[in-house]
Every structure is written in structure tokens, then in C-alpha cells.
Structure 1
Amino acid sequence: MLDWITSPEAWAALVTLTAMEIVLGIDNVVFISLVVQRLPPAEALRARQIGLSAALLLRIGLLFALSWLIGLRESLFTAFGHDFSWRDIILIGGGAFLIAKATSEMHGALEGEDEPSEEDIAGAAKRAFASIVVQVILLDLVFSVDSILTAIGMAEHLAIMVLAVIIAVGIMFVASGPLSAFIATHPTTKMLALAFLVLIGVTLVADGFGAHISKGYIYAAMAFSVMVEVLNVAAAGRRKRRIVVHRGGEQ
């Protein structure tokens, strides 16, 4: 069972599969980092832990149910000249949810939100935590199905696929905290992240309808936008420091 440990090809497959799982997990990390913004730090950490633990368990569970998972590709019905499977339905539903959620968050950021009264804060916090955890787990299911279906065939040994998933989710957990803190510190990046989620949602819906869009183009656009935003944040920070130094010199 562990004979793959001495195989260079198996280790190459592990590295490749881990890298792919990390890339495919970017969507998950961005979503989790955004939705926990409304929670207090301790609750946000719990939500991230629960969400990513669910992602890990879902991915491993799906790996041990490969025959059922592969069956998700079988056609259920035909419409608009396309054979729809359970995978397509899951992707369309998940993509539509992402678009609706990101659009709603954009609307709230642009219009402003009413401050809750003090007596409502405790109850609202509990409802928000439960709602966020449910949303994260539902999106975990969508991203897990897409991720594992993509991974099937890249490695011959189940142990390699499980190990790759564990490593990738561990890296996702480490990255989610700093990313969430960065978004909270730099509010302008929140709108950019929400735009990413809309884009990801559109690609999921398109994929569900049979119009495959290479994620390489999506991630390249995201990387370019992030670099531009980092430059904007750095420039804004430098301007603030210059203003502080200038005012200090005048005094």
C-alpha cells in the first residue's frame, strides 16, 4: 500500500496534485476571507476553522467515494442541446449563489448598512455565525466536487490524493487568516475580491452549461488585478507617510 513512497513518479504526482489543489482552493479562500469579515476576530477564526475542516472532510470523503463521484458526470437530462449531469447542476447552483452573494455584498458596501441596536447585537452575532458557517460548507461542497473531479486521473494511489488534499487545505487555512486581515485593513480590496467571486460564479455557471472557460485566464486576470491593487495600497501608504512627515516638519 505504501510502495509509492519509493517511486519518483508518485512524488512528482504528489507535488503536481498539491499545487493544483492549492490553485483550485484560491476561490474557497477568497470566499471564506470575505464572509467572515462581519464576525468578531475570535468568531471569525472559529468560522474559518469549521469551514476549512469541512472542506478537508468533504474532499477526503469524496476521494473515498470515487465511483459515486464519477457517476456525477453521467447525463440526467438534455436541454438546450446540452446533456446536464449532477455535476453541472451543482456547478450552476454554486455559481449562481456566488454571483448573488457577491452582488449583495457589493450593494451593501456601496449603499451602506444600518448599525444594529445594542439589544440585537448578541442575537445577530449568533445568526450571522450560523449563516456564515452554512454558506461556507455549501460552497465547500461545490468547490470540493470541482476540485476532486479535476484531480481524478492525476494520481494512481488514493493515499497520494488524500495527502495532497490535506497539505493544500493546511496551506489554505494558513493563508486565510492573513488574507482576511489584509482585506479588513484595506477596504478597497474587498470590492476587488467580490468582483473575483462574481467572475468565479460566472465561470462555474458557464461550465455547468457546457461552455468551459480555462481557469488559467481567470487566475491570470486575478493575479494582474492583485498586483495593481498592491501597488495602489503601497502608493496610498507612502502618501500618508509623506503627509505625516510634512505636518510634523511644519510643527
Structure 2
Amino acid sequence: MTMLTSPEFWLALSQIILINIVLSGDNAVVIALASRSLPPQQQKMAILAGSVGAIVLRIVLTFFAVYLLSLPYLKLAGAALLLWIGIGLLKGEDGDEDLEGHSNLAAAIKTIIVADLVMSLDNVIGVAAAAKGNIVLLVVGLAVSIPLIIYGSTLILKVMTRFPIIITFGAALLGWVAGEMAFSDPSIHTWAESHHNLHLIPPVLCAMLVVAVGKWMQSRNAGARVEHAS
């Protein structure tokens, strides 16, 4: 109880919540993208289950964050995975209409958790630093962020329904994050430091790659469905 009356506790908790608000924007986009094709009731389930699962994994990841971020090639692998997820979310369904609803729901939840886990590699450092080793503070702070992410993804999903172009921007955002992640990998740290003026090129190229490949696959899938229908 002494901890709850400490100004330092509430200051650190406020910092963690603020960090999560700032860093949850891209995660909310991923959740909205992954659940957009589900029926309304399953959308709510996917958003809730995906958000809770992602937060739990983020808590676990935080304890190993400093060690994980020092491993060479881990960010490069994570960047490649994000590119694949971004392209997959943009290209849309690929003959999944015949799948049962729970299969689509499970796939959406898996995509949300995997994408959030990869995108959290850098984010958890800020949270871990604010918590200063206080496990209770860490868990409470991340738990409070769950409704923030859920509300954000629900809002983005509604806007996405009215303005489909946001889907493209969301996929491009994943590509951008992938480019930033790849450029900060320890295996190329020395080269990246000496070429810091190029730091915007990988994110831009990766964002363009996701949109280009995703749109091409989306067009190809649409053509295949028309050909199959005829």
C-alpha cells in the first residue's frame, strides 16, 4: 500500500501510460486491418482477444527486451515478417470465403498478436525504462493500455469502413516500421551510424514495396476470382 501512496509510483505509471498512448497508434492500425473482413460480432472478439494477447506477450517481451534488441539479425528478420504481414493484409482475402468463421477469426487474432509482437521490439524499451524494474508498475501500466488500444482500433475500423484508402496507408505504415527496424539492426549498426543521412530511405522503400506488391497481388486475386466465376 505504501507504493500506491508514493508520488514516484504515480509519476512512473503516468509515463508508461503516455508511452503506450504514443506507441499504440501503429498497433491499432494493425488490429483494424486484420479484423476488417470479419462480421461485426467477430470483429469485437478479434479486437479484444488480439489486444489482450498482444499486451500479455509485450509484458513477457519487456523482461527480455534489452537482450533481444542486442541480438544481430533479429530486427532484420522482424522487418521481413512485417513486410509479409503488410502485403498479406493489403492483398485481402485469397479464396478464404469458403473458410468457416472461426478459422478467419483465429487467423485475424494470430496476425494481430504476431504483428504487435514484432512491432513492440523497440517500444518495450521505453516502457521498461519508465518502470525501472518495478514489475507491478509494468503490469499495471500495460494493462491500462489495453482499453486504449481497443478503443483506437475500433475507431480506426469505423473510419476504414468509410474511407477504404486508409487500408493502403495502414499497410504502408507497416512497411515504414519494417524499414526503420531493419536500419537499426545491430548487425549493420556501424554502417548505419556512418550513413545516418540515409535513414529515411529504407522506410520509404519498404512502404512502397508493401503497397506495390500488395496491390499487385490484390489485383491478381480479383482477376482470378472473376475468371473462376465465369
Query: What TM-score comes out, normalization by structure 1 length?
Result: 0.65
- How many angstroms apart in 2 are the aligned matches of 1:26 and 1:124? 30
CA distance in 2, matches of 1:102, 1:49: 21
- How far is the alpha carbon of 1:32 from its aligned partner? 0.9
Contact 1:58 1:144 in 2 (8 A): no
On the 8 A contact 1:54/1:140 being kept in 2, the answer is no
Percent of pairs identical after alignment? Answer: 24
Amino acid at match of 1:165: L
In structure 2, do the counterparts of structure 1 residues 47 and 71 end up closer, same or farther at CA, with 3 Å as the change threshold?
same
Partner of 1:97: 81
SS of alignment partner, residue 72 of structure 1: helix
Unaligned stretches of 5+ residues in structure 1: 76-83, 218-251
**Deviation for aligned residue 1:34:** 0.7
Cα pair distance change 1:151/1:57, threshold 3 Å: same
Counterparts in 2 of 1:9 and 1:126: CA distance versus 1, 3 Å: closer
**Does the Cα contact within 8 Å between 1:55 and 1:169 map onto a contact in 2?**
no
The aligned counterpart of 1:19 is: 18
Q: For the residues of structure 2 that align with 1:55 and 1:104, how far apart are their CA atoms? A: 19
- The one of 134, 138, 142 equivalent to 2:118 is 142
CA distance 1:18–1:96, shift in 2 (3 Å): same
- Provide the secondary structure at the position in 2 that maps to 1:93: helix
1:36, distance to aligned residue in structure 2 (A):
0.9
Q: Deviations over 1:149-170 (max 9, x none)?
A: 3322223322222211111122
Residue of structure 1 equivalent to 2:68: 72
Distance 1:69 1:20 in 2: 16
Say which of 168, 176, 183 aligns to 2:153.
176
4+ aligned runs moved over 4 Å, structure 1? none
State the alpha-carbon separation in 2 of the partners of residues 103 and 145 from structure 1: 20
Letter in 1 for 2:182: V
Q: Distance in 2 between matches of 1:128 and 1:135?
A: 10
Aligned pairs for 1:52-201 within 5 A: 52-63=51-62, 66=63, 68-75=64-71, 84=72, 88-89=73-74, 91-106=75-90, 108=91, 121-123=97-99, 125-156=101-132, 157-201=134-178
Structure 1 residue 101: deviation in Å?
Answer: 2.9
Gaps of 5+ in 2: 201-230
Query: Structure 1 residues 159, 105: closer, same or farther in 2, change over 3 A?
Result: closer
Q: Is the 8 A contact 2:76 2:182 kept in 1?
A: yes
TM-score when scaled to structure 2?
0.71
Q: How many residues align?
A: 190
Q: CA RMSD in A?
A: 2.7
Report the alpha carbon displacement of residue 122 of structure 1 after superposing the two structures with TM.
4.7
- Between Structure 1 and Structure 2, which shows a larger proportion of helix residues? 2
**1 CA distance for matches of 2:123 and 2:153?**
18
Amino acid at match of 1:8: P
C-alpha distance in structure 1 between counterparts of 2:120 and 2:168, whole Å:
25
Alignment deviations for residues 91-135 of structure 1 (CA, whole Å, 9 cap, x no partner):
3233222223323444x37xxx78x6xxx7452544332222222
Contact 1:102–1:195 (Cα < 8 Å) also in 2: yes
Question: Which entry has the higher C-alpha Rg, 1 or 2?
Answer: 1
Give the CA deviation at 1:147.
2.5
Q: Contact 1:55–1:144 (CA<8 Å) still a contact in 2?
A: no
2:17 counterpart letter in structure 1: T
Distance 2:115 2:83 in 1: 12
The amino acid of 2:8's aligned partner reads E
